[in-house]
Structure 1
Amino acid sequence: MASVACVSLLSEAEFGCEHIATQITQEGGAGDQFKTSFIKTHNALAPHTKGALTAQNGVHTTGFLKPKYMCLGCSEVFTNGDRKTHAEKTGHRFYMESRSRTLFCQTCGDFVYDCGLERLRSSTPESTLELAQKRRFSDSSTDELYVRSNANKRTCAKQGVRGLFNLGQTCYLNVILQTLLHDPILNTYFLGNGHQSHECSAPDCVGCAVAEAFADFNSSDKAEGFAALNLLLASWRASPTLAGYQQQDAHEYYQFLVDKLHSSTDGHNENHAKGCPCFFHKTFYGKLRSSVTCDKCGNVTRTEDPMVDLSLDVQVQAKKRAMGGVGPSATPTLSGCLESFTSPEKLNAGVYNCSGCGGSAQKATKQLRIKKLPAILCMQLKRYEHTFSVSEKLEGRIDFPLSINMLPYTTNPHTRGDKSRYVYDLSSAVVHKGKLDAGHYYVYCRQGEEWILFNDDQVTSVPESEVLSADAYLLFYNLRSLAAAPSQ
């Protein structure tokens, strides 16, 4: 059995912050009064029914996109900005957040965790206050000392995976969110000092809803699935075309979500052409260069546009050779699609007016190349073809690798620099099954060295071979080395 001295070194901090320590250790019963207020506020914010919207003192405890804060001093409820004003006016410094019922210290300007108060809320209502007044942690039982001295501490991150409940034709949202949740770059951002929901004042902020999903996914000890309700509501309110329970395109939702995450960042620049220093722009956005060369005079016109993904054509059978095929039955490949995407394309006269030829219509050659690569590269394999008469979906597998070097498809394909700086590793593969208007999405995500299939709330471990044989619609690749990222 470890000694009490050893246990004290292993134990948690006795108080969540110095301000809580001052409050709880006050003499004359003030400390017990604070504990009583803490429990009453905790119970007042408890939802009455699972998944229902309930109101306590004018605040909904669940289903709210923006948090509310109940004052432990007077039980009044405030928003983020009003809370600060109330604290300055009354000196009340402690508040409980309405959704997760976590304690917020206004003086610290952050949420705080106090192990003593947490034991109060986890105890039975009948024994809560009695336990708080009779026993402090240093006087804990022998069993508690034994557990503390022999327990292994781990980082604040969930070990394992969780599915997402389908809220009614929301599989398109689930597959994109799972892709983000399993991305190490985004985990570092949202679980670090990324988007701070308690400081955000934007109404129906998508960034806040995504941050909440990351917190739910990583901090809960539950293994069952959870619902990204606030992200769904925020998406509906931000885009009327998404509102309702119709089937949506996962690729379009990814574009929408990236745009809203970019917009949710302080100091972002809406004009992508001028560049933006925000995290999401650097992570998701690349740059595509279009070069048009006049066949007559050789004049070259270049334009550069931001790109959030690459849409690769796999429809036209005439391009099968460019896609890597050698016959009618050959399986198209991702590298072949990229070669086709970046290959020169002939433009007929009337499509291009050459400034070098006095603005007259001329035949020309157009070529697309990647000027700048993002850290997270999304590639859409265009399986849908729409014409005036019919809309069709191309079924069948397109071969894609676990790793790919993107250097040959950039504006400097023959660079003599470190070519490993352009290597990307597969992180997720989204699959669409069914028809255009009545299909279903599921996604394969890399979890450490394993691959996991997420079919809404159903989670299954799968072999690597199953991933590579999937009829992928969206492929997500991560730059292998951020430190060596190319700066085109």
Structure 2
Amino acid sequence: MASVLSISLLSEAEFGCEHLGALLKQDGGTAEQFKSAFIKTHNALGAFPKSTETAKNGRLRAKGFLKPKYTCLTCSETMALGDRKAHSEKTDHQFFMDSRARTLYCHLCDDFVYDHHLERLRCSTAESALEVAKKRRFSDSSADELYIRSNATKRPCAKQGVRGLFNLGQTCYLNVILQTLLHDPILNTYFLGSGHQPHDCTAPDCIGCAVAEAFADFNSSDRPEGFAALNLLLASWRSSPALAGYQQQDAHEYYQFLVDKLHSSAEGHREGHEKGCPCFFHKTFYGKLRSSVTCDKCGNVTRTDDPMVDLSLDVQVQAKKRAMGGIGASSTPTLRGCLESFTSPEKLMAGVYSCSHCGGAAQKATKQLRIRKLPAILCMQLKRFEHTFSVSEKLEGKIDFPLSINMLPYTTRPHAKVDRTRFMYDLSSAVVHKGKLDAGHYYVYCRQGDEWVLFNDDQVTPVTEADVLNADAYLLFYNLRSLASAPQ
């Protein structure tokens, strides 16, 4: 491992990129003019928050909030992402500062660059930044330089704690789903790595950009206070009129919406799920569900495979199936019992099924659902809301669920001689709904490393495994234990 001194010397010798290094080495005041423009633009962007206004109906909206603007450090012209390239080709100006994070962009590198000389200017006071840069150099013994050296090998975006999400007005449904995504290791690897890049995306109201920005905000600071996912809320409103406004929404429906929009935002995605899709989100969230219908008269089997993004499990289904000739009801509702009921044979009512082998005549039949392909992130909904023509009600009560579960028994090959550990899933989050159908509140338990944390909007509380397992869960999120041996 390189020594602290060698790291310090290396950082002193290098610039953010070769183009920036060549500019800062120029004589005749060019370098000082660039530094002056850098600080002036930096302070100007910091002085004016993103433009927002309140519409006549009282809702918050933003002007150009989801897309950054870029200020040329040579001529101070401000432009959108799509105009940046044309400006550089026309004027030969190469350096820009984006309006959100105030980071430096090099057109020749086609990337954002970090330079420790300019960072020192940024960290100084606005009024004396240039004077400090000219008159004072950090000494080897100064406290801030020692701190930088001693932490040089640490990830600057390393999260020291956990952060809640502010409720922006009946947005707890969004907060619990976003917290679930933020604490998923698969999604962290994607969004904090080389996944969706907002600065390269030109799609309007892109959900992928909004989620990527939420990951960056959540992981960019060790501050314990919460933050607001306003970009994601606005993008969701604009993408779905049904979500717009401050009425309560269903967290399960929002999860389905979010996954669909993330899939659409992925480069190279395919709209038709029947042909399969190579994109990251399809491989992560989508599985396949097989429906098999067997004619009771001739034994003909009709199979249909459909994409699935979650499993909706009826906690009262045992009693319903018993009444229709299925399995018996369980006295204690459990997740395994719900899965067994979901994948057990079910007698179809007479006249529902027409058998092609019987000349198209209506026949009695047996239907069975099985999982054809499992996703890496498996969401299971415990259906607590029941709607009929006369009444809508919520089922209260505890439903037992495990910290780990083997999904092989619920697949199309439940008795196959395979490595059963390939089908092991571990609980990552549990979403709870409290209250009535139209006046409830969501909160979520998330796994943080080896610990569990309760997120109730911006309130964050450490909890035990027993607290999680005692929760009246509505949504359960399980992660495939070993991605290397994932079943195909």
Same fold (TM over 0.5): yes
Corresponding residue for residue 41 of structure 1: 41
Distance 1:95 1:393, change over 3 A: same
Corresponding residue for residue 58 of structure 2: none
Give the CA RMSD over aligned residues.
2.2
Corresponding residue for residue 292 of structure 1: 293
Partner Cα separation in structure 2 for residue 7 and residue 252 of structure 1: 49
Distance 1:45 1:149, change over 3 A: closer
Give the Å deviation of 1:219.
1.0
Corresponding residue for residue 399 of structure 1: 400
The count of aligned residue pairs is: 475
Letter matched to residue 72 of structure 1: L
Structure 1 residues not aligned, in runs of 5+: 55-59
Give the Å deviation of 1:147.
3.4
Distance 1:45 1:146, change over 3 A: closer
- The 5 Å alignment of 1:232-243 reads 232-243=233-244
Deviations 1:113-170 (A, max 9, x none): 1121112122122321112223456x66644554344446312321210000000000
Give the Å deviation of 1:91.
1.1
Contact 1:315 1:383 in 2 (8 A): no
Partner Cα separation in structure 1 for residue 421 and residue 380 of structure 2: 20
User: Secondary structure of the residue that 1:75 maps to in structure 2?
Assistant: coil
Contact 1:65 1:209 in 2 (8 A): yes
Deviations 1:142-200 (A, max 9, x none): 44554344446312321210000000000000000000000000000000000011000
Corresponding residue for residue 153 of structure 1: 153
Corresponding residue for residue 420 of structure 2: 419
Letter matched to residue 177 of structure 1: L
Letter matched to residue 31 of structure 1: A
Contact 2:269 2:279 in 1 (8 A): yes
Corresponding residue for residue 20 of structure 1: 20
User: Secondary structure of the residue that 1:45 maps to in structure 2?
Assistant: helix
Partner Cα separation in structure 2 for residue 150 and residue 324 of structure 1: 64
User: Secondary structure of the residue that 2:219 maps to in structure 1?
Assistant: helix
Contact 1:235 1:243 in 2 (8 A): yes
- The 5 Å alignment of 1:181-220 reads 181-220=182-221
Partner Cα separation in structure 1 for residue 376 and residue 151 of structure 2: 38
Corresponding residue for residue 53 of structure 1: 52
Give the Å deviation of 1:279.
0.2
Distance 1:307 1:151, change over 3 A: closer
Distance 1:205 1:148, change over 3 A: closer
Structure 2 residues not aligned, in runs of 5+: 54-60
Distance 1:77 1:447, change over 3 A: same
Letter matched to residue 337 of structure 1: C
Contact 1:158 1:218 in 2 (8 A): yes
Contact 1:443 1:454 in 2 (8 A): yes
- The 5 Å alignment of 1:472-483 reads 472-483=473-484
Corresponding residue for residue 57 of structure 2: none
Contact 1:38 1:72 in 2 (8 A): yes
Contact 1:315 1:385 in 2 (8 A): no
More displaced 10-residue stretch of structure 1: 466-475 or 340-349: 340-349
Letter matched to residue 41 of structure 2: T
Distance 1:12 1:286, change over 3 A: farther
Give the Å deviation of 1:477.
0.1
Contact 1:324 1:336 in 2 (8 A): no
Corresponding residue for residue 106 of structure 2: 105
- The 5 Å alignment of 1:70-469 reads 70-136=71-137, 142-151=142-151, 153-155=153-155, 156-316=157-317, 318=319, 326=330, 330-469=331-470
Give the Å deviation of 1:4.
9.9
Deviations 1:217-248 (A, max 9, x none): 00123220000000000000000000000000
Partner Cα separation in structure 2 for residue 335 and residue 323 of structure 1: 14
Partner Cα separation in structure 1 for residue 295 and residue 13 of structure 2: 71
User: Secondary structure of the residue that 1:186 maps to in structure 2?
Assistant: helix
Contact 2:427 2:476 in 1 (8 A): yes
Partner Cα separation in structure 2 for residue 112 and residue 485 of structure 1: 37
More displaced 10-residue stretch of structure 1: 67-76 or 466-475: 67-76
User: Secondary structure of the residue that 1:388 maps to in structure 2?
Assistant: coil
Give the Å deviation of 1:13.
6.2
Contact 2:7 2:149 in 1 (8 A): yes
Partner Cα separation in structure 1 for residue 328 and residue 466 of structure 2: 21
Partner Cα separation in structure 2 for residue 412 and residue 456 of structure 1: 41
Deviations 1:401-421 (A, max 9, x none): 000000000001111111100
Give the Å deviation of 1:295.
0.3
User: Secondary structure of the residue that 2:455 maps to in structure 1?
Assistant: strand
Deviations 1:246-265 (A, max 9, x none): 00000000000000000001
User: Secondary structure of the residue that 1:8 maps to in structure 2?
Assistant: helix
Letter matched to residue 101 of structure 2: S
Partner Cα separation in structure 1 for residue 123 and residue 249 of structure 2: 42
